[in-house]
Amino acid sequence: MPDLLETVDDGIATLTLNRPEALNALSDEIRFGLVDALTRLGADPEVGCIVITGSGRGFCAGGDVKSMGERNARGFEARMAGIQQSGRVPALMHRTPKPIIGMINGVAVGAGLGLATACDIRIAGRSAKFGAAFIKIGLSGDWGTTYGLTRLVGTAKAREMFFTGDMIGADEAFRLGLVNQVVEDAELLEATLVMARKIAAMPRVTLGYTKKNLEFAETAEFQALVDLEAFHQARCSQTEDHKEAIAAFKEKRKPVFQGR
């Protein structure tokens, strides 16, 4: 079986990390597969939402520690190039116009936490656990984890998690704002699909511009953001879906969006 599974159904693309025996620790097949899939799906007009999850009892245990010695032996330059390649995944997740939901079904540790924080929305099963954990194997962190965790939980808690490597459960993750919802494990798939269907049914051109606004708002100066919002709002006002929404409002009916 491949290390990364991909399905597309009713406007929802699902990417499943598929190394359950290793709690979906990252392999090269997963890394390169995610880059390829996110690039394709981000440009696919038939896709309105992307879900990322893991098979078995883990979301993602981060880097494969068993193979780290071999990768380290390749030398500094090769090791840095490999880490930069991995960094393309969260970078693509931030840039893709498709909203991404993380369906967190177990541990999300190290780079797995980075993968989770790069999602736009996270829905966790009750058994989910989160940890930076890099420090416990003598590493400082990658996959944009410092960026994502700091912005979601704040600098004080992010530093605590990075410096100690301690794990937190799903309920604390919800309290901190790391996840949007916590549901019972048996309800995780359906809760995620409810959210994914709701998002995928929205006007897809507008979804893309909305995500660009939100991404820019993370670091932008206010006037630059206002100017970008004006450009995107004007662009969206010319879409067929906006015209359909106006007609539906006047006719007191539910709009039918076509993604254009």
Q: Tell me the per-residue pLDDT of 149-193, one tens digit each, with 9 for 90 and over.
A: 999 999 999 999 999 999 999 999 999 999 999 999 999 999 999
| pLDDT computed for residue 130 by the predictor | 98
Q: What fold, for 204-251? A: Lyase 2-enoyl-coa Hydratase; Chain  A, domain 2 (1.10.12)
Rounded mean pLDDT, 111-138: 97
b/e string for 54-84 if b means 16 or more Cβ within 10 A? bbbebbbbbbbeeeeeeeeeeeeeeeeebee
| Per-residue pLDDT tens over the stretch 95-109 | 999 999 999 999 999
Share of the chain above pLDDT 70, in %: 100
pLDDT single digits (tens) 50-100: 999 999 999 999 987 777 767 777 888 888 888 898 899 999 999 999 999
Parse the chain into domains and list their residue ranges: 4-200, 204-251
**Which CATH code fits 4-200?**
3.90.226.10
Residue with tokens 């780290």: 68
Q: What is the pTM of this model?
A: 0.94
Give me the pLDDT at residue 120, please: 98
Name the average pLDDT for the chain.
Answer: 95
